[in-house]
Structure 1
């Protein structure tokens, strides 16, 4: 069943005379796979990229207006290469596939991007907009299952589809190869450092007095990546008779140069990103018929070893020189392993054959149940918390206003009480002063009266201190009729 599909990417595709990075090659792979299956595919790129390279055959979008672009699109299905273009304010009303070929958050760790937490939340929100997730290597499935759980998807039937790194078949060019010509190609990234292995190779080449190393690479050709600190091997391996730097070439020119080389080197120290990476450059080497000296931690080692398409090595530089010596000593073995590399690529890493599971999903894909992602649940809970806090603040403000009136009333009462206390203090002070004056005058009077008068006064006063004896006699005397004795 042919469907109208919008393939949305932020990366430059090969075929336009410009260097490309892994995201552009992956977009090209998805495009060729879908078209080979008969789907009507429209490639959609950022307006700035289309204007820069004159790519008028593609549809343009503004990343900030992606929601409006999707709403106006005639597509039946949307396929996003990487998750960040899917950072939308609302859900899409048509099926959405998101391609996740690499662990971007782990890459950002080596870029030293400060906003990792913010990016993780944005990633979960974007992944919650998709119905199906594509992953590139078997190891990545377990990595994405954790994100799927956080984004709210059903782990009982996870919508994860294996879509390996694969490219259209590359027929042998028939060009003559130089078995003593080694190559390393691709964007220089901070999480992969090839210089220890390449230094070991150059030591062998210089000691043997033959062979060359060609390095095709540089920073990302189109985008200034946030926090980018790419490793520049020129600081350790300066150009010379055995080391040649070619820069970033257009993909067509790069593959022409690779098809005349003898051996590719893809050895970098192991880290979390490398263990989960999809190593696109390694698959490019195999398609170009290049046997690969590859790190043991690569997810491709079992396939390469089984096919006899390269040499599996440890990261330690001390163990690499004997391998490079053996390669230089046996040109026929290099040729045999190169032929095996091309056969392996055709059998395992050629589209559309390697992506049949992806195509089967596209044929039957409908809008599925998109549960509320963790980030949206978190946003909702934060909104509810904010609403509750605002209500509580309103209640506290009303209570504070009521209590402010009560406090003002109590303040007035306190002021009145203080005024009364002050008046009482003044009255007490006046009484104390009067008592002092009276006491002083009494003392003066005491000292001035004769002693006998004082005693008589005391006797007189003593009579007034016995009111119970004195008072009954008064009314009796007043009521008795006068007699002659009274006169």
Structure 2
């Protein structure tokens, strides 16, 4: 059969952290492929319901598995068998949230579109049977099947020499480990040994030298840390949600052969049996296993033997059987269905109204912003007009000054023109006088030369006469 799984979160990827939904989708994909089905995946990247439907129509499929409740009314329009995977106890989680009524009505409305409901453990199946009966579901054929979470095998364990507990998880309002972590630390102080490694960022941390908090790391790095621990700590404060929850971290503990310590409220004993310690007395459990380490080894071996039963192919056998027959849920009339439909329509209208109110607020903020910008532009425009007026006056003053300067310069030019003519005439006279003086100087030079010659001749004649007189 061609199966399409519609989901939101990414699948496990080397070097990255992963969500529970990603692990669940990978489990369904691998398990159903091993059973001979053709499985396609569609990650919810659509911007609208119509776009999601178009994306689904582009993929050949005979059946759809939806991982989210809000997808059901949309995917039902494709008119193929529609399976809703309720691996998390969403109805119980909503008891700790402010939108309990909305979540409940959305679930009831979504269930009406389901051909089959999938859960992850028997307690969840029992809890949904009562709800479905009130909604008019006929329990023949079986409307709910259990597809347990998968436990992925990991490498060989490397237990530490000193006792080490490991745990973690998201900081959900229905999941509070702090009081029991403190109890465990008190036991460690009494015995003078032991430590806790806790993955996650809780809002309230315990400041103690024997507990170490670590941020979320890649999936591979997280599982390597599990292999180096003595046991897993999952002892939360009891509440209704914890009584139905089997988490993906539990399956990681099992895959790494790590015994689990948890409270009596937990559904884990229903399929782990000797692989975990279930009790109301945390202190007694810790003293027991810290004093008898061989019990941890025995529990680890039991978990290892459970891995084949919790593989992807074995956990999806019940879903494979249903797909071969596809006996869909049979519905009869129920007085709860119509109110749920009305509530759903009301919630949808509230969403639309909320969107419109938000858009209107955005438009109003944008209008106010634009008004401020326009006022600022008007102010700047007024400043520019004033500047232009000042520039106009300055230009007028410059033009007037230019005219006056032209008049003054014109007179000066005319005066300078006349002066230049006079200077030219005077220069010509001076040049003529200079030429005359030069000629006179030249004549005087010639006269001087003649006189010098005459004087020289006289001197020679005088010398001759002096000679005659001496005789």
46, 63, 83: which one pairs with 1:77? Answer: 63
- TM-score computed with the length of structure 2 as normaliser: 0.66
CA separation of 1:302/1:217 partners in 2, compared to 1, >3 Å: closer, same or farther?
same
Alignment: residue pair count: 343
Question: How far did residue 38 of structure 1 move?
Answer: 2.4
Determine the structure 1 residue equivalent to 2:430: none
User: Is 1:328 paired with 2:326?
Assistant: no
Match runs of 1:199-348 below 5 Å: 199-218=182-201, 232-234=203-205, 237-238=206-207, 240-304=208-272, 306=273, 308-314=274-280, 319-344=281-306, 346-348=307-309
> How much does 1:151 deviate?
4.3
User: Is 2:110 the counterpart of 1:144?
Assistant: no
Report if aligned partners of 1:94, 1:367 keep a CA contact under 8 Å in 2: no
1:325 and 1:233, CA in 2 relative to 1: closer, same or farther beyond 3 A?
Answer: farther
CA contact (8 A) 2:116 2:328 kept: no
Matched, 1:103 2:69: no
Question: Structure 1 residues 137 and 374, CA, compared in 2 at 3 Å: closer, same or farther?
Answer: farther
SS in 1 for 2:338: helix
Match of 2:35 among 22, 34, 37: 37
Deviation at 1:171, TM superposition (A): 4.6
Q: 1:128-158 CA deviation, whole Å, 9 max, x = no partner?
A: 1111111111112222123323544323433
Q: For residues 77 and 6 of structure 1, what CA distance do their matches in structure 2 show?
A: 6
**Is the Cα–Cα contact under 8 Å of residues 21 and 186 in structure 1 kept in the other structure?**
no
Could you tell me how far apart the structure 2 residues matched to 1:354 and 1:179 are?
35
Does structure 1 retain, via aligned residues, the 8 Å contact 2:14–2:220? Answer: no
1: CA distance between counterparts of 2:224 and 2:341? Answer: 54
Equivalent in the alignment of 2:313: 352
Match of 1:78, SS state, is: strand
Q: What is the Cα-based RMSD across aligned positions, in Å? A: 2.8
Instruction: State the distance in 1 between where 2:257 and 2:332 align.
Output: 45
**Secondary structure of 2:316's partner?**
helix
CA drift of 1:368 comes to 6.6
CA distance in 2, matches of 1:101, 1:381: 27
> Shift of the alpha carbon at 1:211?
2.2
The answer to whether the 8 Å contact 1:13/1:27 transfers is: yes
Taking structure 1 as the reference length, the TM-score comes to 0.64
Q: Which sits farther off after the overlay, 370-379 or 288-297?
A: 370-379
Provide the rounded CA distance (Å) in 1 between the counterparts of 2:229 and 2:188. 15
For 2:73 and 2:176, the matched residues in 1 are separated by 31
- Which of 121, 125, 129 is 2:105 aligned to? 121
* Cα distance in structure 2, aligned partners of 1:347 and 1:179: 30
CA distance in 2, matches of 1:21, 1:379: 30
Gaps of 5+ in 1: 48-60, 219-230, 383-487
CA contact (8 A) 2:5 2:64 kept: yes
Q: Which deviates more, 319-328 or 352-361?
A: 319-328
1:268 to partner: Cα distance: 1.4
The equivalent residue for 1:18 is 16
Say if 1:179 and 1:263, in contact at 8 Å, map to a contact too: no
Q: Contact between 1:135 and 1:162, CA under 8 Å: does it hold in 2?
A: yes
Conservation of the 8 A alpha-carbon contact between 1:184 and 1:264: yes
Q: How far 1:28 moved relative to its partner?
A: 2.0
The structure-2 alpha-carbon separation of the partners of 1:68 and 1:136, relative to structure 1 and needing over 3 Å to count, comes to same
Gaps of 5+ in 2: 344-471
